[in-house]
């Protein structure tokens, strides 16, 4: 089973999506899905003295211009284990360029966390929380001499459009992605 291809993105997607968590909130270790095996691999320990500001992962059956599934940060009270499946309610997104490539980050809240029930828009989040998220992504690759540029935050309508585009691109590319995965197994 490969969570990228085999997990449902959620019955209510894009309003409520499945998030497969790769990295728990507070981690300095960057895990990422091995696209061939479907297992998690340790990509690296962050070079900077920062940690992930939220549970971080991806939305299954999405594909983006950076050749990865669509990234998602899931805010909530609890840190969860890698490979946890969460129901997440998108509230906005952060547009970002990573080494010159578009690398959008969906910002969502844990749908099953009562403390998050009142948050329906990125405007409902504390301004400082958004500053922390932005700051993390602006500096977390700095000591690796990699350039990341945050363009800004967008509210829900733009976010839903980005999610739907990632679903559509995945549907277009699914056959090729599965072939690539199978050819690497041999």
Looking at residue 125, what DSSP letter applies? S
Are the C-beta atoms of 151 and 96 separated by less than 8 Å?
yes
Alpha-carbon distance of 120 to 109, in angstroms, equals 9
Are the C-beta atoms of 65 and 104 separated by less than 8 Å?
no
98 marked ligand binding residue: no
6 marked ligand binding residue: no
Q: Which of 164, 16, 5, 160 is nearest to 87 (CA)?
A: 16
Chain length of the chain: 186
112 marked ligand binding residue: no
In the beta sheet, which residues pair with residue 85? 20
CA 109 to chain centroid, in Å, comes to 12
103 marked ligand binding residue: yes
44 marked ligand binding residue: yes
Task: Please enumerate, by residue number, every residue annotated as part of a binding site for Mg(2+).
Answer: 66, 71, 103
Feature table: binding site: 30, 44, 56, 66, 71, 103, 140
Binding site residues for substrate, as ranges?
Answer: 30, 44, 56, 140
């Amino acid at each position: 089973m490969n969570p990228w291809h085999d997990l449902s993105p959620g019955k209510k997607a894009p309003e409520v999506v499945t998030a497969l968590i790769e990295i728990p909130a507070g981690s300095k270790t960057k895990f990422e899905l091995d696209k061939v095996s479907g297992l998690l691999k340790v990509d690296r320990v962050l070079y900077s003295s920062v940690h992930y500001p939220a549970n971080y992962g991806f939305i299954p059956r999405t594909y983006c211009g950076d050749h990865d599934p669509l990234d998602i940060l899931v805010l909530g009270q609890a840190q969860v284990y890698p490979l946890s499946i969460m129901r997440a309610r998108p509230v906005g997104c952060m547009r970002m360029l990573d080494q010159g490539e578009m690398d959008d980050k969906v910002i969502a809240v844990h749908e099953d966390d009562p403390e998050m029930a009142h948050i329906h828009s990125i405007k409902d989040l504390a301004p400082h929380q958004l500053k922390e998220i932005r700051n993390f992504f602006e500096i977390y690759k700095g000591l690796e001499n990699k350039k990341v540029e945050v363009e800004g935050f967008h509210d829900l309508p733009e976010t839903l459009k980005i999610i739907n585009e990632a679903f559509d691109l995945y549907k277009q590319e699914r056959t090729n992605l599965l072939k690539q995965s199978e050819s690497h197994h041999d």
